[in-house]
Amino acid sequence: MKEKRAVVVGAGLGGLTAAALLARNGFSVDLFEKNTTPGGYACSFVRGRFEFETSLHELSGLGPPQNRGSCYRLLEGCGVADKLTFLPIADFYSSVFPDFRVTIPHGWEQAEEAYAKQFPGERKGIKALLNWMRNIFKEFEFVASSEKITDFIQIPAKATNLLGTIGLTVEKALSREITDPKLKALFCDIWGYYGLPPSLLSFTLFAIANASYIQHGPHHIKGTSQALADAFVESIREAGGRVHLNNGVKKILIDDMKVRGVVTEQGDEYLADYVICNVNPVTTCLELIGTENVPGKYLDSLCKQRHSLSTFNIYMGMDCPATQLGLSGHELFINDGYDQDEHYRCTFKIGRQKYWVITNYNHADPEFSPPGTCVLVITAVVDGLPWMRIPPDKYFDEKNRMAREMLDAAEEVVVGLKEHIEVIEVSTPLTNIRYSSNPYGSIVGFDYSLLGSPVFKLSNRGPFKGLYFGSAWVRPGGGFEAAMSSGALAFREVLKDSKRSG
């Protein structure tokens, strides 16, 4: 039998997943990554005596050993689960609002209890809302695992809750069951993870993603998300695949509406029957293929989507333990008020934000940094566009100004913070662009508005025969778990096509 050749472009989580599955299923795989380390956003960096996690706050879908979730099963299928140690995080999230502070644990009953304790009058609505989300999640898992026609024809009947959410924003959905604006704000306080405020965010996505955290509990990874990326590389190599680092792809070769292969930055041509792009589809069309070669209809479909928010991060190596600063949990979401639309509007401006999160990485892993120290990260979701308009010679000034304003804000919540920073590093949307090539430095690809809900996301099939996408920008979307699933979906399409062509 002829060897089936596949090239994967980009070693972000989607690319790594696709490459691992292809290599383990008999394909000859070459994975090209332009950076020196694999992982895309999933990586770490070292400054002084500290190592920093670049992106991962909470990994969803893992589940405890006795009851693993879909993300764990995917990692198992890729041969990476047993190379890693997962660290459970006790709580789902903690919120600080002007007049209360609450911790929401994971687990359906526990979460319900915590919400209801703060808002006893709305217990019924809270219960109904959580039940609804639980059902949506169940149906989603059924849909996601459907492979046979006999499964598919059952979807309309079996997934009524899921299908019913398609036209709903989070705000609308919440209004059906709960009324207090403060409870609503608390209920969707992790909207930043999904990059849109409740008034614009797809409830389908919110329900599935939150359910994955509530049901399976959030996790972190020993050795940061760099260990996750490196474990994928190990697995790909064990299965005979080749991982080329420091060697990006500069051109995808198309012949007669069919993929022929790629040309690498080092100038080598690699021919392949299947090219899976982890690089976002915008850059792929504009730079790697050339818009003149892409069908107009496909470009149109790209134009219908909008980018999601990016991030502004302050990474801090502290010379004291977190407890000394009064921080006990994994992370705290800080809100200046309850109007999340206003918080969202603020993300279009460079400066102090009204909504941000501070994460203490030593909570999940006490060995995260040297004894007596800790690593804290302040993250604010912000739009990338204003940053792209700064004159280059003003960049450091603007970055420092915003960082100073955010540190002042943080000092109000975490008293003594500024006095204990030993190492500090600030990243902006431009940093995200630099290391991922993602337009606007978006963290979850195209946004999760109604038109960008998992149902309407761009397909994993590209505009040419043999071209596929596996990344945050296509189905099912962005975030660690979704980006990996996307790689798996791309693999599934390749597998189908390769079986068809024998």
Partner 1 sequence: MFKGIIKSTKNMLELGALIGKLALRQPTSTIPELDYSLGSDIIEKIHPESIRVKVSKIIEETSSTKTFRLMPVNGYLPPFRAGQYISLKLEINGVQTARPYSISSPPTNTGYFDITVRFMPDGFVSRYLCENVGVGDEFEISGPAGSFHYEPLTDTKSLVFLAGGSGITPFISMIRELREKNPGIDVHLLYGNRTPDDMIFEEELSETACQEDWFKMHIVISEPPEGYTGYCGFLDSNTISETVGDLSGKTFYVCGPIAMHHLCGSELDKLGVPSRRVKIELAGPPADITQVAGYPPDINPKEAFKVRVTFTGKENSPISLQASPHEPLLNSLERNRLKINNLCRSGECGFCRAKLVSGKVFVPPWVKMRASDLMMSYIHPCISYPITDIELLI
Q: Of residues 34, 219, 363, 399, which one binds ligand FAD by CB under 6 A?
A: 34
> Tokens 């609450």 label which residue?
102
| Euclidean distance between CA atoms 75 and 84, whole angstroms | 10
Q: Of residues 231, 358, 484, 489, which one binds partner 1 by CB under 8 A?
A: 231
- Binding of residue 305 to partner 1 (CB under 8 A): yes
Q: Sign of torsion, CA 439 441 442 444?
A: positive
| Euclidean distance between CA atoms 6 and 261, whole angstroms | 9
Considering only the stretches 37-45, 398-406, 448-456, 459-467, report the one whose residues sit in contact with ligand FAD under the rule CB under 6 A: 37-45
- Binding of residue 128 to partner 1 (CB under 8 A): no
Closer residue to partner 1 (CB): 426 or 490: 426
Q: Where are the beta strands (DSSP E) in 234-345?
A: 242-244, 249-255, 258-264, 269-271, 274-277, 310-318, 331-335
- Binding of residue 49 to partner 1 (CB under 8 A): yes
Q: Sign of torsion, CA 88 436 236 26?
A: positive
| Footprint on residues 292-311 left by ligand FAD (CB under 6 A) | 311
Provide the edge-to-edge strand list for the sheet that holds 421-427. Answer: 100-105, 91-97, 331-335, 355-360, 374-382, 310-318, 421-427
The option from partner 1, ligand FAD, none interacting with 245 (CB < 5 to 8 A, set by class) reads partner 1
| Footprint on residues 475-494 left by partner 1 (CB under 8 A) | none
Q: Collapsing DSSP states into helix, strand and coil, what is residue 163?
A: helix
In this structure, are residues 244 and 264 in contact, taking their beta carbons and an 8 Å threshold?
yes
- Binding of residue 188 to partner 1 (CB under 8 A): no
- Binding of residue 95 to ligand FAD (CB under 6 A): no
Determine if residue 165 is left, alpha or beta; phi over 0 gives left, psi from -120 to 50 gives alpha, anything else beta: alpha
| Euclidean distance between CA atoms 338 and 342, whole angstroms | 9
Q: Sort strands 421-427 and 355-360 into parallel, antiparallel or unpaired.
A: unpaired
- Binding of residue 161 to ligand FAD (CB under 6 A): no
| Footprint on residues 195-224 left by partner 1 (CB under 8 A) | 200, 222-224
- Binding of residue 243 to ligand FAD (CB under 6 A): no
- Binding of residue 390 to partner 1 (CB under 8 A): yes
| Euclidean distance between CA atoms 483 and 491, whole angstroms | 13
Q: Of residues 59, 433, 443, 474, which one binds partner 1 by CB under 8 A?
A: 433
- Binding of residue 41 to ligand FAD (CB under 6 A): yes
Closer residue to partner 1 (CB): 164 or 321: 164
> Tokens 């509530």 label which residue?
214
Considering only the stretches 111-119, 142-150, 158-166, 187-195, report the one whose residues sit in contact with partner 1 under the rule CB under 8 A: 158-166
The option from partner 1, ligand FAD, none interacting with 33 (CB < 5 to 8 A, set by class) reads ligand FAD
Using CB under 8 A as the binding criterion, the count of chain residues that bind partner 1 stands at 80
| Euclidean distance between CA atoms 395 and 459, whole angstroms | 36
Q: Give least dist CB 418 to partner 1, A.
A: 7
Q: Of residues 136, 168, 207, 458, which one binds partner 1 by CB under 8 A?
A: 168
The option from ligand FAD, partner 1, none interacting with 436 (CB < 5 to 8 A, set by class) reads ligand FAD
| Footprint on residues 440-499 left by ligand FAD (CB under 6 A) | 443-444, 471-472, 478-481, 483
The option from partner 1, ligand FAD, none interacting with 268 (CB < 5 to 8 A, set by class) reads partner 1
Q: Collapsing DSSP states into helix, strand and coil, what is residue 205?
A: helix
The option from ligand FAD, partner 1, none interacting with 24 (CB < 5 to 8 A, set by class) reads none
- Binding of residue 496 to partner 1 (CB under 8 A): no
| Euclidean distance between CA atoms 347 and 361, whole angstroms | 25
Residue 147 neighbours by CB distance under 10 Å:
10
DSSP-derived secondary structure for 443-493: SSSB--SGGGSTTTSPPSB-SSBTEEE-STTSTT-SSHHHHHHHHHHHHHH
- Binding of residue 495 to partner 1 (CB under 8 A): no
| Footprint on residues 55-94 left by ligand FAD (CB under 6 A) | 55-58, 60
DSSP assigned state of 29: E
Phi and psi angles of residue 486, each rounded to the nearest 5 degrees, phi first = -60, -40
Q: Give least dist CB 128 to ligand FAD, A.
A: 27
Q: Of residues 90, 155, 413, 421, which one binds partner 1 by CB under 8 A?
A: 421
- Binding of residue 192 to ligand FAD (CB under 6 A): no
| Footprint on residues 318-337 left by partner 1 (CB under 8 A) | 319
Q: Give least dist CB 437 to ligand FAD, A.
A: 4
Helix, strand, coil percentages for the chain (3-state, nearest 5): 45, 20, 35
Question: Alpha helix (H) ranges present in 243-389?
Answer: 281-283, 296-303, 340-346, 385-388
- Binding of residue 437 to partner 1 (CB under 8 A): yes
- Binding of residue 362 to ligand FAD (CB under 6 A): no
Amino acid at 344: Y
- Binding of residue 303 to partner 1 (CB under 8 A): yes
Q: Of residues 70, 283, 359, 471, which one binds partner 1 by CB under 8 A?
A: 283
Question: Which residues contribute to the site for ligand FAD (CB under 6 A)?
Answer: 9-15, 32-35, 40-42, 55-58, 60, 248-249, 278-279, 311, 313, 379, 432, 436-438, 443-444, 471-472, 478-481, 483
